């Protein structure tokens, strides 16, 4: 009797455990980033610290998309990461679910734009752009970015684009290349 389903459109138990374990792994690896963030965040440079490190938190979304190649994988991957974050690591508690949903939505839209056909460079690149725009729009309100000086807002947006572009774009692509070579991910 086969109870572990292999269907691609459907979320199997294995997929959920896989993403959750990755989320925990990344969560542990990120703890190191926490210290760097804190060092900067206690100064007026805090918004820069936010945007400089944001890419790291977004990684889980496109990574999940590239690994599972499913509709909703990026969104759910990021939401799972936020759930793990909420239950195991974060002092923000359930509020991380809110930011996780926004970030997940942002990463997902990039792959949606390719009609879920491209999980390679193009999909990842579009995902970088959409997650930068969506999360920045959210922060314009939630973190009050709208009330900063215009030049600063532009600067923050560019820093965020670079951060997300590197971590959720280039780094995710490098990891994908290494994984492709193993032939373990279909």
Partner 1 sequence: MTLNPSVMLIIILEIGLPMAFTQSLAGNLAVCFIAFCYLMVNRASLKTISFVMLISLPLAFGTGWSFIAFGTGDVWHQAFLQVSRLFAYIFLGMTLTLTTQVRDILLSFINHLHLSPTFAYGLFAAFNLLPRIQRQVKTIRYSANLRGITYHLWQPQLYFKAILSALQWSDDLAQGMASHGFSEGADRTITYHDNLPKWQWGLAIILIASYLILSLLT
Nearer residue to partner 1 within complex by CB, 113 or 179? 179
Residue 38 tokens read as 């804190």
Which of 8, 117, 120, 152 is close enough to bind partner 1 by CB under 8 A? 152
Judge whether 67 and 120 are in contact, CB under 8 Å: no
In DSSP notation, 59-77 reads: THHHHHHHHH--TTHHHHH
Q: Give yes or no for residue 80 binding partner 1 (CB under 8 A).
A: yes
Query: Is the four-CA dihedral 54, 59, 60, 66 of positive or negative sign?
Result: positive
Q: Per CB under 8 A, does 38 bind partner 1?
A: yes
Q: Cα(182)–Cα(156) distance, rounded to whole angstroms? A: 38
For partner 1, give the closer residue by CB, 126 or 156. 156
- CA distance linking residue 99 with residue 139, whole number of Å: 10
> If binding means CB under 8 A, how many residues of this protein chain bind partner 1?
69
Segment near partner 1 (CB under 8 A); pick from 43-51, 104-112, 116-124, 128-136: 43-51
Show the tokens assigned to 74: 């990026």
Q: Which residues contact 86 (CB under 8 A, 6 or more apart)?
A: 92, 93, 94, 96, 97
**If binding is defined by CB under 8 A, does position 161 make contact with partner 1?**
no
Q: Would you call 111 exposed, middle or buried from its count of C-beta atoms within 10 A (0-12, 13-18, 19+)? A: buried
Give whichever of 111 and 138 is closer to partner 1, judged by the CB atom: 138
Q: Does 6 bind partner 1 (CB under 8 A)?
A: no
158 binds partner 1 (CB under 8 A): no
Q: Specify the residue, 113 or 171, whose C-beta has the smaller distance to partner 1.
A: 171
> Does the protein bind partner 1 through residue 141 (CB under 8 A)?
yes
- For binding to partner 1 (CB under 8 A), which residues are involved? 3-5, 11-18, 20-26, 28-29, 32-33, 38, 40-47, 49, 56, 63, 67, 80, 83-84, 86-88, 90-98, 138, 141-144, 147-149, 152, 166, 171, 174-175, 177-179, 182, 184-185
């Amino acid at each position: 009797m086969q109870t572990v389903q292999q269907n691609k459109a459907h979320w199997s138990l294995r997929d959920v455990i896989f993403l959750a374990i990755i989320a925990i792994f990344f969560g542990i690896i990120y703890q190191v980033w926490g210290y760097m963030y804190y060092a900067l965040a206690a100064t007026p440079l805090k918004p820069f610290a936010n945007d400089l490190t944001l890419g790291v938190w977004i990684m889980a979304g496109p990574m999940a998309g590239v690994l599972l190649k499913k509709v909703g994988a990026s969104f759910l991957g990021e939401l799972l990461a936020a759930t793990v974050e909420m239950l195991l690591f974060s002092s923000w508690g359930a509020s991380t679910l809110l930011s996780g949903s926004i970030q997940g939505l942002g990463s997902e839209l990039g792959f949606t734009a390719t009609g879920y056909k491209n999980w390679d460079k193009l999909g990842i690149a579009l995902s970088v752009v959409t997650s930068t725009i969506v999360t920045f729009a959210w922060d314009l309100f939630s973190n009050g970015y709208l009330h900063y000086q215009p030049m600063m807002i532009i600067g923050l947006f560019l820093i965020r684009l670079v951060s997300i572009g590197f971590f959720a774009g280039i780094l995710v692509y490098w990891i994908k290349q290494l994984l492709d070579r193993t032939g373990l991910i279909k």
